[in-house]
Structure 1
Amino acid sequence: MRTKKVILFLFIAYFMIGCGQEKENELSFRQFMQSKTENSSPAAAKMVGSLRERSNEEEVTITFPKGRYDFYENSSFVREYYISNHDQVNPKRVVFALENLKNVTIDGQGSEFVFHGRMIPFALSGCENVTLKNFSVDFEVPALRQLEILEVDKESDVLEATICPGENYRIEEGKLVVLGEGYEYRPFVSMAFREDKRLSYRRGDVSFNPESVTEIAPDTFRIEGWNQVNVTSPGERYALRTYYRPTPGIFINESKNSVLENVTVHYAEGMGLLAQMSENITLEGFNVCLKGEEDPRYFTTQADATHFSACKGTIISKNGLYEGMADDAINVHGTYLKVFERPADNILHARYMHPQAWGFKWGEPGDSVQFVESEKMELVGNHVNTIKEIRALDRPTYFGAKEFEIVFNDSLPKEISGEGAYGIENLTWTPEVLFSGNTIRNNRARGTLFSTPKKVICENNLFDHTHGTAILLCGDCNGWYETGSCREVIIRNNKFVNALSANYQFTNAVISIYPEIPNLEEQEKFFHSGIVIENNTFEMFDRPLLYAKSTDGLQFRNNTITYNNAFDPFHWNEHIFFFEKVDNVLIENNEFEKGLSREDDVRVELSEDGAVRVNGNN
């Protein structure tokens, strides 16, 4: 009997210790909230403060009882952040400012997080092993607005339309002014959607410049003198916008091992997710999408769904839905610095060039770098150098800087100077990428953009009516200053449906390998290499399938190409394959519904004879 009592006592003690451990390592957001409060920002601030007080070595999970949580600018954090590919306006409001934390999981358990004002919902900076999961991000009053066309009077040059979301606007001297929570603007451009949520055929970046807008009823306008009157019809929608990108939905900066699982962003005024100078990022079931078929909005983010600038390690993006964005589903690149002075044999002064990409860390001692001549986008020398020292020239630290002095361990190629046009590329901060099982549909511009020398696998995705190019491999040290050359890209087992129904930058075919090279004729060294496109299905209404420039080693094999009459062919590129300055290109064992003629369907320029082989296609 005594033995049974001892066992029972030990069991109870073990159970209590276990409960204590579970309680210590799992906290409920409810304990940080005051009862019956509309603004959850003070509770978020308390939660963040509690995490900062804990030991970073302990794992902790914050759970949110499933529900709706509203977050306002009042009681949110104020931060100065410099965010790649966004407008560098500071300070910024941040609700969940997760900084220098480790081993933290935030589990929304299916909750809706709704934000008010112009802010960053989540910022991870200097973090390690942080996981966000099971919640959605939306804004109560998005900056983008949507017009639904009710009536069209072409003779009178008049449209009638309603605005969504309603309210939060005013008419000033015949112009529409959009009112956000704490800001306002006048839209001047739009995305045109058909009633079925597809973007309108051949209408990319439609200007919004009517002569007058008159309110004829609440949320209902009479619009006169807009150049869309002759091409629009009742039921179409226009997402009104500017090109302003103040804040992403989720910001990851100088962090390691970040995971987002079952997180959905319905709207952000910049990117859905922007990561910079971070290592190992996993997106599993991360979505930038509408709220379902009944969602009255047709738009989601102001720019890319996901964007990775100067990251390293591995980027994994799997099983996501990306739709209604004003730019790519994913963009992976680094940033070229432009050389403006060479004060010593192993020292360069260089600067960030693009107005939306500066102020954040560019490199560290020990990083490997290479140099390009910008006009020809050609490597200077074959030697990879390393950074010995790097410091900001125009700020006390790299934070907020545009210009740097970089000391290299080895002497530099003699031709590099501030007199010419030379860029510096950081090779250390380049990632491998797995983009798999995702759906990209009904978005502006491009589907995916990869610019990294590490291995890229793009597989098992559905590209469904991307308005421009479905896949782009770029590289540009002249305008966007986004690195760099691709060395190993595998594009396989994807399905492409009616891509390229409008023209945008770099959209020469459904798959466009298009580095920006002003002086292509004099280029001697190829930019991209090692690209395999295999076992994909293309459903096409037009002809341009694959365009490649400055590429050595390209295989297009075992693909199936069918044709439909969904739209009228219109593209200026009338060739299925169009190659400029390429070598070692192989097109073989593909099934073309209408056949393939080497003479009529394959155009080759600035290439040696035999650069392109066409074998075994039907």
Structure 2
Amino acid sequence: MTFKTTMLKKISLLILLVFGLTSTIQAQKKTKVFKLESYGVLPDQRENSAPLLEAALKKIKSEMVTADSVVIQFKKGRYDFHTDGAVRREYYISNHDQDNPKIVGIELEGFKNITIDGNGSDLIFHGRMLPLALIENNNVKIKNLSIDFEKPHIAQVKVVKNDTIAGSIIFETAPWVTYTIKDSIFYNAGEGWEMQPIAGIAFEEQTKRIVYNSGDIAVGTTGVSELSPGLIKAHHWKNSKLIPGTVVAMRSYHRPTPGIFIHKGENINFENVKVHYAEGMGLLAQLTENISLDGFEVALRGKDDPRYFTTQADATHFSSCKGVITSTDGLYEGMMDDAINIHGTYLKLLKKVDAHTVIAKYMHHQAYGFDWGYAGDSVQFIKSKTMDLWDHKNTIVSITPVRTTKNEPIKEFRIEFAEDLGNEIDPANFDIGIENLTWTPSVIFTGNTIRNNRARGALFSTPKPTLIANNLFDHTSGCAILLCGDSNGWYETGASTDVTIRDNKFVNALTSMYQFTSAIISIYPEIPDLGNQTSYFHSGIRIENNEFETFDHPILYAKSVNGLIFKNNTVITNQEYPPFHSNTNAILFERVLNAEVTDNTLNGKTIDLLNRE
């Protein structure tokens, strides 16, 4: 490199730095700060902040100039939100119950270039609410706040006595639980709601880990009697694993709303935001481009929190998003499902109208009512039974909802494509799914801790580059990582083609059995007819330099993969629990091509872990 070239590079770098600094200063000069206390939204009043904040946001929006960069600040403290006076909205939220209207605590709609700074505030919700909805926003940051509910819809109880011979259990309710007993049935109750728990998750009292090999359990909420306030005898509850001291989160399977709902946004960022409880997922985003989570938590309130659970379902969930999804330095614990799930949604092809036009439909009861695609989007087609993809890709020319009235939620679409579909792509020949390739994201999932949760750790289903690195998966009760894809039941797309899993640590994952959990890392597309599959579903998967501490055998399971590397990984066995999994192979492949399994160690010894039977 010449002296002149070096100097030119230095000058160019200096210009860029000066320009960046100037831009930053200009941006700072244009930033306008609105303090919510000036609009009557004050902390620690124990009054209903919902209508006050709604009025303040409307006023602030009217005072904003389009070019403004705006910061809206809470004064640090506690803010309570009740259903009375809160806005009602019709939202169709992916992977949630499609009941409407939703009662919304805070709605941000149509904002641009704003930051909501909570200054460490606690937002406490009451009843059954959607705490925070972000609708069609651009360049929005939420930071320094937490979301919680005064009375969660999960009833936490502790086992006091377990008579396994008589088949009865005495339990005590946590201090914050309000309950009623009617006709010998236990109901958990709160502001404007009441429900009978029908299932439970059992936690070890001291560690807050889910009880080994327990999974979802039945709970004794029918045939109960009150021995004294807060002390209940379940006369027909038999489970030998529930030793005295065991804490049980008694729950239903309802998931009406997430803690945070993001719809049709662009450049949405979260920094130091915590969700301590939500009746659905912690955060659900759909049809949004570019989302970053920096230090995001779905977590307990520290080690002294008396609760053992967080959200009713996934910590975070991203449906039909695009751009880049980033989660860095997060904490996900105690939730009743996965830490993160990223996917699109297959439509089922119902009818071929002509060579360019089809009728297609949302199939899962928790996924409908929102847009699926737009003119110009790229799509591909899949045979549902074998999960074989056609090489034929196509482009949407037009897509129109098929419904009798505008008030009817969207379930079906009439879609016209740019190119002839050919004779084979016809629902008369096969069950066919359609995947929208445009609405698929790249993923960066790094530096996160996932622990003590139900079901699985992290799920990724996207053809774009996916990096899973430097994370700790600690006692996830199902598998730690799942690469899936299903055009038959969940209808969640799709094929992963560029996945790197490196430098992660896995500690005693897979302590219970759940769907698709065949190993700590499970590559498990749902393929009803694997024997007649002619191609491969997933490809381009690299698993390198990870550390597995495990009490059981299965480390990696893979099905229908072309191109898989498992290299330089360390496996260390322990005796924390007895092995129980039906899969006794460290590595088990079904229909896998071009696999490299090399330089892995088991208890310090280099060994071929692959089952080659």
TM range (shorter): over 0.9
Cross-structure match for 2:20:
none
1:193 paired with 2:203, answer: yes
Distance 1:22 1:70, change over 3 A: farther
Cross-structure match for 2:412:
403
Distance 1:56 1:234, change over 3 A: farther
1:491 paired with 2:501, answer: yes
Cross-structure match for 1:111:
121
3-state SS of 2:371 partner: coil
CA distance in 1, matches of 2:192, 2:157: 22
8 Å contact from structure 2 (residues 108, 137) kept in 1? yes
8 Å contact from structure 1 (residues 29, 62) kept in 2? yes
8 Å contact from structure 2 (residues 151, 177) kept in 1? no
8 Å contact from structure 1 (residues 29, 43) kept in 2? no
1:223 paired with 2:198, answer: no
Displacement of 1:400: 2.4
3-state SS of 2:249 partner: strand
Cross-structure match for 1:40:
49
Cross-structure match for 2:214:
203
CA distance in 2, matches of 1:49, 1:342: 47
8 Å contact from structure 2 (residues 466, 500) kept in 1? yes
2:37 to 30, 34, 58: 30
1:181 paired with 2:195, answer: no
Q: 1:500-529, CA deviations, whole angstroms, 9 ceiling, x for partnerless residues?
A: 010000000000000000000110110000
1:247 paired with 2:254, answer: no
3-state SS of 1:43 partner: helix
1:546 to 542, 549, 556: 556
Displacement of 1:474: 0.1
2:541 to 524, 531, 552: 531
CA distance in 1, matches of 2:383, 2:407: 25
CA distance in 1, matches of 2:338, 2:418: 38
Farther-moved stretch of structure 1 (539-548 vs 166-175):
166-175
**Which letter does structure 2 place at the counterpart of 1:508?**
S
8 Å contact from structure 2 (residues 155, 173) kept in 1? yes
Distance 1:214 1:423, change over 3 A: same
3-state SS of 1:383 partner: strand
TM-score calculated relative to the size of structure 2: 0.92
Displacement of 1:211: 5.0
Q: 1:257-286, CA deviations, whole angstroms, 9 ceiling, x for partnerless residues?
A: 000000000000001000000000000000
CA distance in 1, matches of 2:590, 2:358: 33
Q: 1:445-490, CA deviations, whole angstroms, 9 ceiling, x for partnerless residues?
A: 0000000000000000000000000000000000000000000000
Q: 1:169-216, CA deviations, whole angstroms, 9 ceiling, x for partnerless residues?
A: 111111111112211111111111111200011111101245521111
Displacement of 1:160: 1.8
1:343 to 353, 356, 361: 353
CA distance in 2, matches of 1:399, 1:529: 40
**Residues 493-532 of structure 1: matches in 2 within 5 Å?**
493-532=503-542
CA distance in 2, matches of 1:511, 1:71: 41
TM-score calculated relative to the size of structure 1: 0.92
CA distance in 2, matches of 1:545, 1:179: 42
1:581 paired with 2:591, answer: yes
CA distance in 1, matches of 2:357, 2:56: 46
Displacement of 1:395: 5.4
**Which letter does structure 1 place at the counterpart of 2:107?**
A
CA distance in 1, matches of 2:513, 2:75: 46
Distance 1:406 1:69, change over 3 A: same
3-state SS of 1:335 partner: coil
CA distance in 2, matches of 1:350, 1:134: 42
CA distance in 2, matches of 1:148, 1:383: 57
Q: 1:25-51, CA deviations, whole angstroms, 9 ceiling, x for partnerless residues?
A: 111111222675611112211122124
**Which letter does structure 1 place at the counterpart of 2:152?**
P
8 Å contact from structure 1 (residues 103, 129) kept in 2? yes
CA distance in 1, matches of 2:606, 2:474: 24
**Which letter does structure 2 place at the counterpart of 1:306?**
T
3-state SS of 1:521 partner: helix
CA distance in 2, matches of 1:482, 1:155: 44
Distance 1:574 1:24, change over 3 A: closer
**Which letter does structure 2 place at the counterpart of 1:216?**
L
8 Å contact from structure 1 (residues 191, 238) kept in 2? yes
1:365 paired with 2:375, answer: yes
Q: 1:2-29, CA deviations, whole angstroms, 9 ceiling, x for partnerless residues?
A: xxxxxxxxxxxxxxxx9xx979811111
Displacement of 1:596: 6.9
Displacement of 1:63: 0.8
8 Å contact from structure 1 (residues 48, 96) kept in 2? no
8 Å contact from structure 1 (residues 167, 218) kept in 2? no
CA distance in 2, matches of 1:391, 1:604: 50
**Which letter does structure 1 place at the counterpart of 2:236?**
G
Cross-structure match for 2:155:
145
The share of aligned pairs that are identical, in percent, is 51
Q: 1:108-156, CA deviations, whole angstroms, 9 ceiling, x for partnerless residues?
A: 0011110011111111111001110001000001101111112223343
1:388 paired with 2:404, answer: no
Distance 1:397 1:454, change over 3 A: farther
> Aligned pairs, how many?
582
2:435 to 413, 425, 433: 425
Which residues of structure 1 form unaligned runs of 5+?
1-17, 606-618
- CA-based RMSD of the aligned residues comes to 1.7
**Which letter does structure 2 place at the counterpart of 1:49?**
K
1:471 paired with 2:481, answer: yes
Displacement of 1:343: 0.8
3-state SS of 1:50 partner: helix
Displacement of 1:157: 2.7
1:121 to 125, 131, 139: 131
Distance 1:428 1:137, change over 3 A: same
1:259 to 269, 287, 292: 269
8 Å contact from structure 2 (residues 262, 284) kept in 1? yes
Distance 1:533 1:224, change over 3 A: same
3-state SS of 2:241 partner: coil
8 Å contact from structure 2 (residues 198, 221) kept in 1? no
3-state SS of 2:531 partner: coil
**Which letter does structure 1 place at the counterpart of 2:595?**
V
Cross-structure match for 2:224:
213
Displacement of 1:396: 5.3
1:603 paired with 2:611, answer: yes
8 Å contact from structure 1 (residues 318, 438) kept in 2? yes
Farther-moved stretch of structure 1 (278-287 vs 97-106):
97-106
3-state SS of 2:57 partner: helix
CA distance in 1, matches of 2:415, 2:356: 8
8 Å contact from structure 1 (residues 210, 227) kept in 2? no
2:580 to 547, 563, 570: 570
**Which letter does structure 1 place at the counterpart of 2:337?**
D
CA distance in 2, matches of 1:156, 1:204: 23
CA distance in 2, matches of 1:556, 1:604: 15
